Amino acid sequence: MRNITLLLLSLFWASFTQAQSKVIIACIDDHPPYQYLGNNPHGTHISALEVLASLLDKKLIFVQSPNFARCIAMLKKGDVDVIAGLSKTTQRSKFAIYAPFKPADELKVISKEGIVINTYDDFKEKIIGVSRGAAYFPRFDHDNTLDKVSVQSDPIGFSLLLKGRIDLIMLSPELLKTFSEEINSKKLKVSPIVLEEVRNNATFFGFSKYHKLGLSNKNLVEKITSAYQKGLFN
């Protein structure tokens, strides 16, 4: 009887594991133009996730999160398999592996009228909005001498900038386009900052080390990197 029970449990676990390996669970937050939440999530990162699912022959399931920090927490625990747009950091590398899917975006600074950011030193004595869970570049991320204010998301950070409650935020050119009308009407300054720091030259999928995709980490990274080099995510 005991052997039969063990056999049934073994068969159940094998069936459960096989079912899990047929899906890929992605955490997404509201981050236009990359990710728009709703009944039909869309955006450039959503499209990349759809290509990823097709490449791996998986059914794509979205978990919609109120912010990026929550997605990172879920990735760390293995509750989701992947996040699109996860920057590499030493801390994240303890629970995540990375595979590129597009060239990295530039960073531009949007600041209040009268504030111009040309070099890193210009950040000093400014109130800087930083999106919760975001990584910008190592020198900035680890600089505790700067006056950084955590905001839930880039759109909220931008709204605080419009209200004059912070001095500046950093955004990609793609995201900046979504705020172009307000930037012009409020006479905000857009500065292409020259950074001494070496930033990642690619944008990455971040996979949980506890993913259930039925592939080794090595095979997973090699497969996606090859697709990226062939331009399949364009």
Question: Is the pTM here over 0.85, yes or no?
Answer: no
Identify whether 173 is preceded by a cis peptide bond (ω within 30 of 0).
Answer: no
Strand partners, 151: 131
Per-residue pLDDT of the chain (234 residues; tens, 9 = 90+): 544 443 334 434 334 444 456 999 999 999 888 999 999 999 999 999 999 999 999 999 999 998 999 999 999 999 999 999 998 888 999 999 999 999 888 888 999 988 988 888 999 999 999 998 888 888 899 999 999 999 988 989 999 999 999 999 999 888 888 898 999 888 899 987 665 454 567 899 999 999 999 999 999 999 999 999 999 998
Question: What whole-number distance in Å separates Cα of residue 224 and Cα of residue 211?
Answer: 15
- 204 and 87 Cβ atoms separated by less than 8 Å: yes
Q: What domains does the chain contain, in order, with CATH numbers?
A: 21-104+200-229 (3.40.190.10), 108-191 (3.40.190.10)
Facing residues of 202 across strands? 103
Following DSSP, what letter does each residue of 14-59 receive, concatenated?
Answer: HHHHHHHTTEEEEEEE-BTTTBB-SSS-BSHHHHHHHHHHHHHT-E
Nearest alpha carbon to residue 53 among 65, 61, 41: 61
Sign of CA dihedral 110, 111, 116, 120: negative
Distance between CA 182 and CA 205 in Å, rounded? 31
Buried b (16+ CB within 10 A) or exposed e, 197-217: eebeeebbbbbbeebbbebee
CA distance linking residue 115 with residue 110, whole number of Å: 9
Cβ neighbours of 114 (radius 10 Å): 8
